[in-house]
Amino acid sequence: MKVLVTGGCGYIGSHTCVMLLEAGYDVIIVDNLCNSKRDVVDKIKEITGKDVIFYKGDVCDYALINKIFSHHDIVAVLHFAGLKAVGESVLKPLLYYRNNIDSTLNLLEVMTKYNCKNIVFSSSATVYGAPKTLPIKESAPLSTTNPYGSTKLYIEGILRDVYEADKNWNIAILRYFNPIGAHKSGLIGENPNGIPNNLMPYIIKVATKELEVLNIFGDDYDTPDGTGVRDYIHIIDLAKGHIKALDKVLSGSGIVCYNLGTGHGYSVLELVKTFEKVNNVKVNYRIAPRREGDIAACYADPTYAFQELGWKAELGIEDMCRDAYNYVMKCKRNTSD
């Protein structure tokens, strides 16, 4: 069974491709490599011993997506492709709306044309805005505070409209919490260039002395140690959630929406301390003022995904810290060879 994975060279997409191949799916990737590298395809093949079809190109390119569907009998799409940097989205909202929404519209149009009406979409916990109650259930009120989040919320709305108009669609909206970690092999993972937007890559760059110090924004939140609390989830658990969601979609789900998180919040300081302990390294940090727009705590209620999909996160914070560091250190060794 062939599935199309948009953004399959990216962080979450690449790990999900490994799981898809291991589950017996044939994988076609389309990625414009705007935030990833071509060699990820080889790494996916190396891990799984299986072949992958790769198209370098943009999901906003209708002719390309049409060509892919005309060449392959695709049963479902896992749609990861998108820009994801919150700060950049504030500076360049049109880029985000154009890229994330156009790509989705194109994809849905071509899927309709080829009667492929099964899709798993990468949404985000950012659609919960500043949550009023914790843990967050799927039924919580939705709002966003930046253009990136708005693209996710709009796309969720587009998917609901598409489903309302044609009940033959099967759509899984997955709201991710904070994926970190890497594949055990150390062959794929997250290692952004420059100044990272997310905490774990930042911690690693400080641990490896690429960056001098980690700023922890605020230590006076209403949390156990005063620093912000988030629901970190191992990328492998997250990837496994996609296989379960895909199975659900292919069994005729209609439109469904699941939180993919652990249900457990860890503070920034807990993450830093655990990272130091399991990797036996020092992370130089200092407390900085709160950042505007940051919330004290955010973690999922993942009960619904467990009830409906039989999925729950299994790996812990120590695995996340160890595997994330292992990947980056392996990248470093390979580039210095």
Ligand X SMILES: NC(=O)c1ccc[n+]([C@@H]2O[C@H](COP(=O)([O-])OP(=O)(O)OC[C@H]3O[C@@H](n4cnc5c(N)ncnc54)[C@H](O)[C@@H]3O)[C@@H](O)[C@H]2O)c1
User: Least CB distance from residue 66 to ligand X, whole Å?
Assistant: 14
Nearer to ligand X, 146 or 178 (CB): 178
Nearest residue to ligand X on Cβ basis: 10
CA torsion 301-302-306-311 (nearest 10°) is: -170
User: Least CB distance from residue 35 to ligand X, whole Å?
Assistant: 4
User: Least CB distance from residue 12 to ligand X, whole Å?
Assistant: 4
- Phi, psi (degrees; rounded to nearest 5) at 176: -80, 145
User: Least CB distance from residue 304 to ligand X, whole Å?
Assistant: 18
Q: Are strands 266-267 and 229-230 parallel, antiparallel or unpaired?
A: antiparallel
- Exactly one of 148, 266, 299, 327 is catalytic; name it: 148
Among this protein's residues, is 148 annotated catalytic? yes
Distance of CA 152 to the CA centre of its chain: 12
Cα angle value 227/231/237 (rounded, 5°)? 150
Q: Tell me the CB-side half-sphere exposure of residue 332, using CA atoms within 13 A.
A: 12
Nearer to ligand X, 226 or 304 (CB): 304
User: What DSSP string describes 246-288?
Assistant: HHHHHTT--EEEEEES-S--EEHHHHHHHHHHHHT----EEEE
Nearer to ligand X, 109 or 220 (CB): 109
Binding site for ligand X (CB under 6 A): 7, 9-13, 31-36, 58-60, 80-84, 99, 103, 122, 124, 176, 178-179
Nearer to ligand X, 7 or 265 (CB): 7
User: Least CB distance from residue 220 to ligand X, whole Å?
Assistant: 25
Q: Give the amino acid at 96.
A: Y
Nearer to ligand X, 7 or 218 (CB): 7
Radius of gyration of the chain (CA): 19
- Phi, psi (degrees; rounded to nearest 5) at 210: -75, -30
Active site residues: 148
